[in-house]
Structure 1
Amino acid sequence: MTVVIVIAGVLFGAGAVGALWRIIRGPSALDRIIASDVLVATAMCAIGAEMAINRHTDNLPVLLGLALFGIVGSVSVARFISSRDDA
């Protein structure tokens, strides 16, 4: 079980580093926005895995807040890009 936890941690870390790299180096604003959504989703997965490993639900409000942040952010960006294309 410890090996699986370490592998999952390494993969979550690699996903977060990749998303941060795209946020810093992204050639366009849309790349940076998508990378921030990926970073939020990676954080949610890592928090969910930690809750499953330790068998508690203490961080459930944090997960719900991150989910709300991700949805509102994606919708806001979609509306911004849509209004910019119409002009």
Structure 2
Amino acid sequence: MTVVFVLTFTLLAVAGLAALVRMLRGPRSLDRLLALDVVLVLIVAGAATDMARTGRGLNLALLVAVALLNFVASVSAVRLVERREQHR
């Protein structure tokens, strides 16, 4: 089972690096916002994978709260940027 967790963490890290590159190089602000959302989702996924590896679900409520805040912040930011770009 250790191989599965190492592979999972490796894939999450590669996806995180790709999202960070997109966040730094993204031509538009919406690309950067989407990349930030992906990074936050990957952080939650990594924490959930670590909880599965250790067998402790103590931080489950914290993960749900972070995921909910991530969703609300992403929707709000996209609406704000979209509204700003329409007024140009």
TM-score by length of 2: 0.85
Where do 5+ consecutive residues of structure 2 fail to align? none
Deviations 1:19-41 (A, max 9, x none): 11111111111110000000011
- Which residue number in structure 1 is paired with residue 22 of structure 2? 22
- Give the number of equivalent residue pairs: 87
Dislocated runs of 4+, deviation >4 Å: none
TM-score by length of 1: 0.86
Q: Percent identity?
A: 36
Distance 1:54 1:39, change over 3 A: same
Shift of 1:82: 4.0
Q: Partner letter of residue 6 of structure 2?
A: V
Superposed, which structure 2 residues align to 1:11-50 within 5 Å? 11-50=11-50
For 2:73 and 2:29, how far apart are their aligned partners in 1? 13
For 1:9 and 1:82, how far apart are their aligned partners in 2? 34
For 2:19 and 2:66, how far apart are their aligned partners in 1? 16
Superposed, which structure 2 residues align to 1:4-83 within 5 Å? 4-83=4-83
Where do 5+ consecutive residues of structure 1 fail to align? none
Shift of 1:69: 2.3
Q: Which structure ranks higher in relative contact order (CA pairs < 8 Å, sequence separation ≥ 6)?
A: 2
Mean Cα displacement is larger for which, 10-19 or 63-72? 63-72
For 2:46 and 2:84, how far apart are their aligned partners in 1? 35
Distance 1:24 1:73, change over 3 A: same
